[in-house]
Structure 1
Amino acid sequence: MIAIFNAETIRNFNPTDFKIYECISQNEPLVVYMTIRELADCAGVSTASILRFCQKCGFAGYKELKFTLKNMLKKQSNVPNNNVSEIIDCIQKFEQPLYKARLEKALDILSEDVQIICIGIGNSGITARYAARRLSSLKKFSLCIDDPFYSVELPKTNTVALAFSVSGEREEVIRMVESFKKSGCPTIVVTVSETSLLSKYADVTLPYYLSYKGLSKVIDTTSQVPATALIEILANMLYERKQQEA
């Protein structure tokens, strides 16, 4: 049960209310960024039903529900966690229906006849190199740029940028991604938060909602395991699609 809903209220839910409640419970980290229309589409109900649901639960409206949910998630993230359990919880979120929809959008881009440029610096550069190698094993032409000062003539077509940045705020990575976007290249961004500046340049953002452990502006100790897991998930999805099309 989600903490912001009490048991008595839930007992009085009608079938439509339960559809909304289940959609929220399955997609908690994503709902705080969704519009009322997006939540309605996810739950398969009308926006009017969402508003009635909010009022039944004691909220003035949808904005108050999102605000309360966001604060609840923030408090939960401030509770000391075993790093392993936090990572496992993070990866399990990739199985949520709305997140799977994001992965499908990324897969649609990567499945095209394109060359893939994986971008990252520091620890994320290591992850980007692994992504390029993993995708190359599936016979996708993939390269890695982990030097922000590396000069490259950007192609106009058939190129996808796959960018990795934990904070999503590194100026060097943002500058590289911005160059690809100006050349008309679709961009997929893997980062801890979809509200980061880097995400604003993305056609698809794959956030992994892990606590950011930055020691300074250029040094962080945040785990790369979730980002690596996303690479594996995308690679497996790409392999399965290739098998279906064969």
Structure 2
Amino acid sequence: MFTNEVIASFNELEMVLYKYVMEHKEKVVYMRIRDLADEAHVSTSTIMRFCRKLNCGGFSEFKVKLKLLLDEGQNMNIKNGQHVLAEFFERTSNEAFTRKLDEAAEAVAAAGHVFSIGIGSSGALAEYGARYLSSFGTFSTYLKDWYLPIHANLHDSITIALSVSGENRFTLSHIHKLKEKGSKILSITNNMHSTIAKIADVNVSYYVSEEFFDEANVTTQIPVIYILEELARKVYEKNNQ
């Protein structure tokens, strides 16, 4: 309901009203228009303009939509973390998962240089993964600058790309740029059927239930940390056999 475009269209008085509504949502859904006008120190005509900008036919419709927004937030079902992780760690003993992780370690061990990329929480973990690999003697670089010009030949490199959905357009564009320069791609995604997983040379998937809170992806990243750390240890073992 409150999109960035709508909020940007608010004038000064409408912004005052918006801030009041956001701070008193539970109270506003039961208020009369005159009560809201008095409490927010705006006119009823300002409230009606505010409602029209939100595609509401009137104040009553606005209250209905606001109530639905409140109910949606209260009914969000966040799964028990222990249950989600128990399912993942059960799969780590699966032969197919172990084989994929071993294949990934072989590819990293054979590379002359390792890059890592990701955005958001995946970016934070990509940076952690690069540091963890380097701690085990495999020098790795986290590429933070998405507009970094790449002119060198990267045929002796591998890029570890992290993405929960496997569909992030920024990560995809970065992958295409690196592939054009010859880098192999190792993707770590939540499932093997995503676009990033399909275009990668090697993919390790962890399959946990994706969870969202409002528009934020709050899927646990513990499986990614486990994969990155196990990968680093396996690469070390292969380089020292």
Structure 1 length-normalised TM: 0.62
The one-character-per-residue Cα deviations of 1:77-115 (angstroms, maximum 9, x if unpaired) are xx9842222113213312211111111211111111421
1:194 aligns with 2:197: no
1:209 aligns with 2:207: yes
Unaligned runs of 5+ in 2: 1-76
Q: Distance in 1 between matches of 2:116 and 2:152?
A: 13
1:117 alignment partner, one of 115, 120, 124: 115
Q: Distance in 1 between matches of 2:161 and 2:94?
A: 22
| Number of equivalenced pairs | 165
1:89 aligns with 2:84: no
Give the structure 1 partner of residue 231 of structure 2.
Answer: 234
Q: Distance in 2 between matches of 1:160 and 1:133?
A: 15
Q: Distance in 2 between matches of 1:165 and 1:215?
A: 18
Aligned pairs for 1:96-245 within 5 A: 96-215=94-213, 219-244=216-241
SS at match of 1:168: coil
- Matched to 1:157, the amino acid is H
The one-character-per-residue Cα deviations of 1:130-187 (angstroms, maximum 9, x if unpaired) are 1100111122121002343343335332110100011111100001111222222211
- Matched to 2:234, the amino acid is M
- Matched to 1:194, the amino acid is M
Range that drifts further, 120-129 or 102-111: 102-111
- Matched to 2:238, the amino acid is R
- Matched to 1:82, the amino acid is N
- Matched to 2:144, the amino acid is D
- Could you say which structure has the larger radius of gyration? 2
Unaligned runs of 5+ in 1: 1-78
- Matched to 1:177, the amino acid is I
Give the structure 2 partner of residue 36 of structure 1.
Answer: none
Identity score, percent:
27
- Matched to 1:121, the amino acid is I
Structure 2 length-normalised TM: 0.63
